[in-house]
Chain A
Amino acid sequence: MRSPSGETATREPVAWGAAAIGLLVLLWWLATAIPGLVPPRVLPSPVDVVLRFGALIAEPFSGATLLGHAVVSLQRWGIGVLAAIALGLPLGIALAWLPPLRAVVTPAFELLRYIPPFAWVPIAVLWFGATTTTQAAIVFIAAFPACIINTQLAVAQVDPILMRAARTLGAGSARTLAKVVLPVAAPTIFTGLRIAFSNGWMALVGAELVVGKQGLGFLISQGQLNDSASTILVGMTTIGVLGTAIDVVLQRAQILALPWRPVSARHVE
């Protein structure tokens, strides 16, 4: 079947990509299928990984099933991210609106920002012990800067004419904020949230590798201790898939929550 040229243009890249990935999987399988080439300890065959996936779902490993570990991880992530949003949004707005506050906070903030989130792991362990609080705190530290910086930027970028117009029409500060500033700033804030969510997720994995008794990061570190590469691979895949899923959900949420966005974008340009 020959398709018109317009269609091949979009189809060809996909075919090449699929072929490349297929080839990699095939090579992987061949490498493990030929005995003696790559020991299964180092690289289990794809079939083993799929079987391991099934096994991890069905029976507990290191205290919980795969689903259990995932739920624990998502919980910690949720707490940290929600805290980052709850603090980051108001603070970001305050920073954008109150220049004196900005002058005080920004230098300290810039300084702290250079310390990677994982560098906080030891001190969080010292403060909170090996608890959920520690993990959530690391997620919070990783997610907070993206929340606050983007909120501040978004609010600062709102056209002052819009605010003055709202004032002229008799809106109070709270009303201007809710009806004018936030809707206009929302797309940029959402971008910040997306960065915050994915930063938080990455940091959580790091934190769970170091401390904790459950969670996906813990699962892969147990896989390492038990010399089970297939467990590690299952865990890594789950982490990657969940990370992607979080991003996709947020993208959808943005479309649902801000249906006016494309309109306003066109209006501005």
Chain B
Amino acid sequence: MRLLSRPYLGSTLGQHIAASLQIVIGGWLLAGLVGLPLGIAMGWCKRVRWIAFPVFQILRPVPPLAWIPLAILWLGIGDSARIFVVFIAAVVPWVMNSMQAVDSIDGLLVRAALTLGASDRQILTRVVCRTALPTLVAGARIALGNAWTTLVAAELLAATAGLGYIALNASRTLEIGILLVTMAIIGALGALFSIGMHLVTRWVAPWTESGVAT
């Protein structure tokens, strides 16, 4: 389309897409980096859970979008504010699923490993992480979905590039063609993420049925 060749609002469509993708992947990875170890620790060690879980329970009812104004106030309307909001949206599924994954492991497996002389670290890497993998990947998938949804909202508010930003601008300037194209791209990318994560699930944990709880 016309958008592909001619820059709109400062960059071409490809650049807007790239801007959105960068932030969504950045925030999602960051959330994983924090959420995955934290969730595993919360599932593994009761004390960590007692400390961290209530904090999460208090923060969870606040929608990630409600953090946007605070993020703008703290970080300005740069990339960091959007990464922060995406991080907030993605970190909860990461943590909750990793915690549940580790928590739901059959105690028998752990005891069997202990009997066979495995050390704590060996149990964590060989037994716990393996059995928990499907749930972990499901958490990653939900986190990515949340991240994408939230990013679109964040871009409506605080951005100088990105798909949400052009969508709102197109709506203000009554360019309905551009608006619809943008929405279609947002939807297509969301679908792509979801399908991609399903493929990843099948690849890393082929022994599970495809229908992991969402």
Contact = CB atoms under 8 A, between A and B. Distances in A.
B123 to A, nearest CB: 23
B156 A121 contact: yes
A21 interface: yes
Interface string A7-28: 0000011001111110010000
Nearest to A216: B66
Given A17-B51, A116-B148, A220-B69, A206 B183 contact: no
Interface residues of B, number: 47
Q: Is the interface of A mostly helix, strand, loop or mixed?
A: helix
A224 B183 CA distance: 27
B191 A206 contact: no
B26 interface: no
Interface of A: 12-13, 16-21, 24, 41-42, 111-112, 114-123, 125-126, 201-202, 205-206, 209-210, 217, 220-221, 223-224, 227, 229, 232-233, 235-237, 239-241, 243-244
A152 B51 CA distance: 40
A115 B72 contact: no
Interface in B1-56: 46-47, 49-55
Given A24-B55, A206-B65, A220-B69, A119 B50 contact: no
Contacts of A243: 61-63
Contact of A224 (B55, B72, B172): B72
Interface of B: 46-47, 49-55, 58, 61-70, 72-74, 148-149, 152-153, 156-157, 164, 167-168, 170-172, 174, 176, 179-180, 182-183, 186-188, 190-191, 194
A210 B61 contact: no
Contact of B164 (A18, A118, A123, A235): A118
Nearest to B190: A114
Contacts of B51: 16-17, 19-20
Closest 10 CB pairs of A and B: A17-B54, A122-B171, A224-B69, A16-B50, A115-B187, A116-B149, A118-B153, A240-B62, A202-B63, A240-B61
A232 B73 contact: yes
Contacts of A224: 69-70, 72-73
A114 B188 CA distance: 7
Contacts of B174: 126
Given A119-B167, A122-B170, A232 B70 contact: yes
Chain B CB within 10 A, most for which of A18, A201, A236, A244: A236
Contact of A18 (B49, B54, B64, B66): B54
B69 A21 contact: no
B181 to A, nearest CB: 12
Contacts of A21: 54-55, 58
Contacts of A217: 65-66
